[in-house]
Amino acid sequence: NLAAAGPEKFTLEYIQKQVEEYEIGKRHLANMMGEDSENFTQEDIDLFDFIYLFFLLKQICFYFQHPDEIFPKQRAVQWGADGRPFHFLFYTGKQSYYSLMHDLYGKILKIEKHQDRLRAKGLFSQDAQLISLGPSRWLTKEELELLLVETISTHDYDRFIKLMERMLAMPYSSTEEEFVQRYRRQLEAQSMKQMMPPLEKDENGVAFSTAEGRRKTSDSSVILRDCGSGHITINGQDYLQYFPVLQDREQLMFPLQFMGVLGRFNLECTVSGGGRSSQAGALRLAISRALLSFLSEGDGEAMRQAGLLTPDPRVRERKKPGQEGARRKFTWKKR
Amino acid sequence: MIVNNRCFNVCFIFRPFRVPILTGCHSSIPLWWASLCDKKILNQPLEKPDFFRVAELFSLKDLFDARVHLGHKKGCRHRLMEPYLYGCRLDHDIIDLDQTMEHLQLALNFTAHIAYRGGIILFVSRRRQFGHLVETTAKDCGEYAHTRYWQGGLLTNANIQYGPGVRLPDLIIFLSTLNNVFQQHVGIRDAAKMNIPTVGVVDSNCNPSLVTYPVPGNDDTPAAVELYCRLFKMTINRAKDRRKQMELLHGLSADARERRHV
């Protein structure tokens, strides 16, 4: 139903004009920066800051991107000058979706014919050549709508998925693998391995590693050096001076004490933001992460089990209107 | 005025086409000559009763072999289909193939004339068994098909469904006039409302009243439906080829034809 999407917001001429202006602006920018205007790509433009662009181009440009990425995809007019529609399923209303179903069913029939021919020759085997799809998922309904440039209902989407599954369940469906892969997306392989910081060596041959940690609004960065002494420096100061409270120093030492490497490492830390407790927590996380590169797999797993490697997700909850605090309500009066 | 007659030799009257025949003809051919050629192209097929020789495409034996004569059981019989039935054998209705021959010739002739004049033909069938076949037939002819769920306002609310300025089909061919719940397809009533002629294969449980060119015959057997699809495809292709030949014959080149459509 085309009318449900509203009238065509941007005419073809308007979008073409925008594309021309974009190209001119791109060349202008390239000439100003002294770069090669022919090979100036979108990646080079993305490096520019919004404010820098404002001063350069003397006008506010919120999106310096190709118009195809800004304006939503629309349908061009579906019929020719004599009124005859281009697509043979135009009169169904959902031509792309139904033509997809038509093609899919055609492929199923082709596979069945292939199976019949093999059966006639006596070469049919039940367990042959199922498609291997790997870690992937079907396209979501929204992605399919984007692909087809038309809206479909949940019912239609379910039917499409069922038909695809039916085709995949047939033997000898590996001939249509390329067609099926077009409608699947790869899942990001979820690795169980911890991301450990790399082990580097400085000029004196001392091994060190760097890691970062966050807690509430504090950010910290720690450089762990395998020296043999147990010096700890935070923001240039000694740790006893920076954290006068025992609790904070305990938080700092806990990862080293847990692994039993208390006197081995030198810590050079920087921390900013938050209060004293959150800074201590950020430092603890950073130290644990930096320690991973010096330890074995089993020790790393032990740290993970102890909860040293999990960033604390708790942040301050906002105050809501009509309440005194985040959770506390105003005093309830019966009358 | 649409005349639904059984007599084979009478000329037909079509509903007027919305296709502009001469629009902005900028060719070097003088306008009067172009209009004369057009009139000749359009009027010549109307002189002979069977200009496209559709009667040669099939015979009574072909219809019998494709099991077109098999109707439904006596209990399913529609009252208005009684004139088209030959008889009833062991409770199975048998459709009169002589009448089917006449009706099919009329229908194919009409389709051929519509295709010759560049009309839009829409194939409709709500049978899931033959949906793919019907869509492939339509694709091969260069015409259109609708074998899916019929949304309410497709014909009657076309300007909102498709966009303003859409051209509606000039002929609708029903390869089965019933929908999935054995009720009359909404398209028959809508086509009658929008003055669109229809050709429909009516089985013994269907209502033939609103169909312009009913063709009494079996719509359930794959052999019968394949026969119909083949016949319609052949007529439409034949009519289109004939049109191209006539245009070349009467001295109009291809680019003049395009300019005519612009």
Q: Is the pLDDT of residue A272 over 50?
A: yes
Q: Which residues of B touch A92 (CB under 8 A)?
A: 146, 148
CATH code assigned at A267: 3.30.230.10
Min Cα–Cα distance to chain B from A8, Å: 10
What pLDDT score does A21 carry? Answer: 85
Question: Do A179 and A211 reside in the same domain of the chain?
Answer: no
Residue B190 is which amino acid?
A: D
Q: Spell out the domains of chain B, with CATH numbers in brackets.
A: 30-261 (3.40.50.10490)
Question: Do A148 and A227 reside in the same domain of the chain?
Answer: no
CB environment A207-231: b (16+ within 10 A), e (fewer): ebbbbebbbbebbbbbbbbeeeeee
Q: Is the pLDDT of residue A236 over 70?
A: yes
Query: Which of B6-10, B40-44, B49-53, B159-163 holds the top average pLDDT?
Result: B49-53
Question: Do A153 and A212 reside in the same domain of the chain?
Answer: no
Q: Which residues of A touch B167 (CB under 8 A)?
A: 79, 83-85
Question: Do A213 and A283 reside in the same domain of the chain?
Answer: yes
Summarize pLDDT for A158-170 with one digit per residue, the tens: 999 999 999 988 8
To test the contact with chain B by mutation, choose from A82, A89, A91 the residue with the greatest count of B C-beta atoms within 10 A, namely: A91
What pLDDT score does A173 carry? Answer: 82
What pLDDT score does A294 carry? Answer: 87
Q: Is the pLDDT of residue B35 over 90?
A: no
Summarize pLDDT for B102-136 with one digit per residue, the tens: 999 999 999 999 999 999 999 999 999 999 999 99
Query: Which of B13-17, B38-42, B197-201 holds the top average pLDDT?
Result: B197-201
Residue A33 is which amino acid?
A: M
What pLDDT score does A39 carry? Answer: 72
Residue in chain A closest to B139 (alpha carbons) equals A88
Q: Which residues of A touch B143 (CB under 8 A)?
A: 88
A248 band by pLDDT with thresholds 50, 70 and 90: very high
Q: What is the mean pLDDT of residues B154-161?
A: 91
Q: Is the pLDDT of residue B22 over 50?
A: no
Residue from the list A1, A81, A83 with its beta carbon closest to the beta carbon of B161: A1
Question: Do A182 and A204 reside in the same domain of the chain?
Answer: no
B29 band by pLDDT with thresholds 50, 70 and 90: low
What pLDDT score does A5 carry? Answer: 53
Question: Do A146 and A223 reside in the same domain of the chain?
Answer: no
Question: Do A206 and A278 reside in the same domain of the chain?
Answer: yes
Question: Taking a C-beta distance cutoff of 8 angstroms, is the pair A124, A115 a contact?
Answer: yes
Q: Is A312 a domain residue? A: no
What pLDDT score does B9 carry? Answer: 37
Q: Is A322 a domain residue? A: no
Question: Do A227 and A266 reside in the same domain of the chain?
Answer: yes
Q: A141-148 vs A154-169: helix axis angle to the nearest 10? A: 90
Q: Is the pLDDT of residue B15 over 80?
A: no
Phi-psi region of A235 (alpha: psi -120 to 50; beta: other; left: phi over 0): left
Question: Do A110 and A204 reside in the same domain of the chain?
Answer: no
What pLDDT score does B26 carry? Answer: 40
CA distance B254 to B259: 9
Residue in chain A closest to B143 (alpha carbons) equals A88
Mean pLDDT of chain A: 85
Q: Is the pLDDT of residue B258 over 70?
A: no
What pLDDT score does A132 carry? Answer: 73
Residue from the list A78, A91, A98 with its beta carbon closest to the beta carbon of B154: A91
pLDDT higher for B161 or A195? B161
What pLDDT score does B257 carry? Answer: 58
Query: Can you read off the two tokens belonging to residue A254?
Result: 């806990």
A199 band by pLDDT with thresholds 50, 70 and 90: confident
Q: Which residues of A touch B136 (CB under 8 A)?
A: 106
What pLDDT score does A26 carry? Answer: 81
Residue in chain B closest to A92 (alpha carbons) equals B146
What pLDDT score does B24 carry? Answer: 34
A8 band by pLDDT with thresholds 50, 70 and 90: low
Cβ within 8 Å, pair A82-B135: no
Cβ within 8 Å, pair A3-B161: yes
Question: Do A121 and A209 reside in the same domain of the chain?
Answer: no
Q: Which residue has the tokens 């790393």?
A: A300
Based on the structure, what is the number of domains in chain A? 3
Q: In what order do the strands lie in the sheet with B198-202?
A: B144-146, B121-124, B171-174, B198-202, B213-216
Min Cα–Cα distance to chain A from B120, Å: 7
pLDDT higher for A324 or A192? A324
Residue from the list B135, B163, B167 with its beta carbon closest to the beta carbon of A102: B135
Q: Provide the terminal-to-terminal Cα distance of chain B, rounded to the nearest Å.
A: 30
Q: What is the mean pLDDT of residues B205-214?
A: 94
Min Cα–Cα distance to chain B from A11, Å: 14
Q: Is A263 a domain residue? A: yes
A321 band by pLDDT with thresholds 50, 70 and 90: very high
Q: Which residues of B touch A94 (CB under 8 A)?
A: 148
Q: Is A173 a domain residue? A: yes
The last residue of one of the domains, among A124, A157, A186, is: A186
Chain A residues near any Cβ of chain B (below 8 Å): 1-3, 77-79, 81-85, 88-94, 98, 102, 105-106, 109
Q: How many contacts (CB atoms, under 8 Å) link A and B?
A: 64
Q: Is A331 a domain residue? A: no
Min Cα–Cα distance to chain B from A122, Å: 27
What pLDDT score does A171 carry? Answer: 84
Q: What is the mean pLDDT of residues A7-17?
A: 73
Question: Do A221 and A294 reside in the same domain of the chain?
Answer: yes
Q: Is A75 a domain residue? A: no
Query: Can you read off the two tokens belonging to residue A62?
Result: 């919120």
What pLDDT score does A62 carry? Answer: 64
Q: Which residues contact B186 (CB under 8 A, 6 or more apart)?
A: B150, B152, B179
Cβ within 8 Å, pair A81-B135: no
Mean pLDDT of chain B: 85
A145 band by pLDDT with thresholds 50, 70 and 90: very high
Query: Can you read off the two tokens belonging to residue B122?
Result: 């829409």
Q: Which residues of A touch B144 (CB under 8 A)?
A: 85, 88-91
Q: Which residue has the tokens 């605090």?
A: A325
To test the contact with chain B by mutation, choose from A8, A75, A92, A112 the residue with the greatest count of B C-beta atoms within 10 A, namely: A92
What pLDDT score does B175 carry? Answer: 94
SS3 B131: helix
Q: Which stretches of chain A are DSSP H helices?
A: 12-33, 42-46, 50-57, 67-70, 95-121, 141-148, 154-169, 177-181, 239-242, 246-259, 276-292, 297-306
Cβ within 8 Å, pair A79-B166: yes
Q: Is the pLDDT of residue B174 over 50?
A: yes
A226 band by pLDDT with thresholds 50, 70 and 90: confident
The rounded percent of chain A whose pLDDT value lies above 90 is: 41
C-alpha distances in angstroms, B240 versus A68, A211, B75, B141, B143?
A: 40, 75, 43, 9, 11
Residue from the list B145, B160, B169 with its beta carbon closest to the beta carbon of A3: B160
What pLDDT score does B3 carry? Answer: 41
CB environment A105-132: b (16+ within 10 A), e (fewer): bebbeebeebbeeeeeeeeeeeeeeebe
B20 band by pLDDT with thresholds 50, 70 and 90: very low
Q: Which residue has the tokens 């469906």?
A: A173
Cβ within 8 Å, pair A106-B145: no
Residue from the list A90, A94, A105 with its beta carbon closest to the beta carbon of B144: A90
**pTM (2 d.p.):** 0.71
Chain B residues near any Cβ of chain A (below 8 Å): 18-19, 118, 120, 122, 132, 135-136, 138-139, 142-146, 148, 151, 154, 160-163, 166-167, 169, 261-262
Q: Which residues of B touch A3 (CB under 8 A)?
A: 160-161, 163
What pLDDT score does B13 carry? Answer: 41
Cβ within 8 Å, pair B146-A78: no
Q: Comparing A224-228, A264-268, A272-276, which segment has the lowest mean pLDDT?
A: A224-228
Question: Do A204 and A181 reside in the same domain of the chain?
Answer: no
pLDDT higher for B29 or A101? A101
Range of the domain at A102: 90-186
Q: Which residues pair with B147 in a beta bridge?
A: none
Q: Comparing A299-308, B35-44, B129-138, B228-237, which segment has the lowest mean pLDDT?
A: B35-44
